[in-house]
Structure 1
Amino acid sequence: MSVAQSFVGTWKIDNDASENLGNYLEAIGLAGDMIEGAVQAETYVEWSVNGDKITQTMKAKGNSHETTFTLGNEFSETLAGGRVYQTTFTEEGGKLVRTQKGSPYNCTSTTELVGGQLVETRTCESSPPVSCVRKMIRV
């Protein structure tokens, strides 16, 4: 079973248990009003697997962003604020690793199951690097 298969289902981000998201979003160049909304929004993340295709859908405040990918295959991804990255997902040591190359900085995130929670750690390769942690509970 792949790591992503263990994520299948719907997860709610626990904003109270998450750390440093606002600083991370500022470091990657997100606008101030978007940062405030992202930090406070009730956000759900849905994972599904269909063959070798993995889909992650984030939903918050009537907005939705869907990313479908195949492990190891680089693709172009446009995120909030118009940021464009060349993204690759891999599995490493029981974690799903997302590597994003683009402007203003390259970023990496790891997602893993820890004590029944889905924990995502994001790092922006700014100077100095900025990281955040988002914790999710299955709903």
Structure 2
Amino acid sequence: MSVAQSLVGTWKIDNSESENLEAYLQAIGMKDDMIERAIQSEVEVEWKVEGDQITQFIRAPVKSHSVTFTLNSPFDETLQGGKVFETTYTEEDGKLVKRQIGSPYNCTCSTELIGDQLVETRTCESSPPVSSVRKMNRV
């Protein structure tokens, strides 16, 4: 089974187990009012795999969005706030790894199953680098 297939299903972010999220969001340039909402929002993430297409749906009270991609194929991804990154997803060492190349910083996000939780580690390659961990439980 591929890493992406192991993520299939719906997951709810456990805000009580987030680590360093505020510092990460500041590092990527998110506005203060958006940071507060992001930290407190109840967010669900759903993963689907259909053939070689993988889709991630993110459902949040403020804004929901989705992204569909093929592993190892770069694409342009527009994030909230209009920032555009060249994004590539790969599978590495049991993790789904997302690399975003753009301005002002490049970012990496690895997603993996640890026990019965989905663990997402995000790193902003600023100076110094800033990382955050978010844990999710299956719905």
Same fold (TM over 0.5): yes
- The structural deviation recorded for 1:62 is 4.9
Query: Could you list the runs of 5+ residues in structure 1 that have no partner in the other structure?
Result: none
Q: Percent identity?
A: 68
Q: What is the identity, as a one-letter code, of the residue corresponding to 1:124?
A: C
8 Å CA contact 1:30–1:80 kept in 2: the answer is no
For 1:23-38, what aligned pairs fall within 5 Å after superposition?
Answer: 23-38=23-38
SS of 1:68's equivalent in the other structure is strand
Higher strand residue share:
1
For 1:33-44, what aligned pairs fall within 5 Å after superposition?
Answer: 33-44=33-44
Q: What is the identity, as a one-letter code, of the residue corresponding to 1:69?
A: F
> Which residue number in structure 1 is paired with residue 117 of structure 2?
117
> Which residue number in structure 1 is paired with residue 136 of structure 2?
136
Q: Residue 39 and residue 62 in structure 1: after superposition, are their counterparts in 2 closer, same or farther (change >3 A)?
A: closer
Q: Take 1:99 and 1:62, find their aligned partners in 2: how far apart are those partners?
A: 25
Q: Take 1:48 and 1:21, find their aligned partners in 2: how far apart are those partners?
A: 25
- The structural deviation recorded for 1:102 is 0.3
SS of 2:101's equivalent in the other structure is strand
SS of 2:81's equivalent in the other structure is helix
SS of 1:39's equivalent in the other structure is helix
Q: Deviations over 1:38-74 (max 9, x none)?
A: 1100000000000000000111105211010000000
- The structural deviation recorded for 1:103 is 1.0
Tell whether 2:99 aligns with 1:99.
yes
TM-score of the aligned structures, taking structure 1 as reference length: 0.98
Q: Take 2:4 and 2:100, find their aligned partners in 1: how far apart are those partners?
A: 18
> Which residue number in structure 1 is paired with residue 75 of structure 2?
75
Q: What is the identity, as a one-letter code, of the residue corresponding to 2:131?
A: S
SS of 1:71's equivalent in the other structure is coil
For 1:53-92, what aligned pairs fall within 5 Å after superposition?
Answer: 53-92=53-92
Q: Take 2:82 and 2:103, find their aligned partners in 1: how far apart are those partners?
A: 10
Q: Take 1:132 and 1:33, find their aligned partners in 2: how far apart are those partners?
A: 19
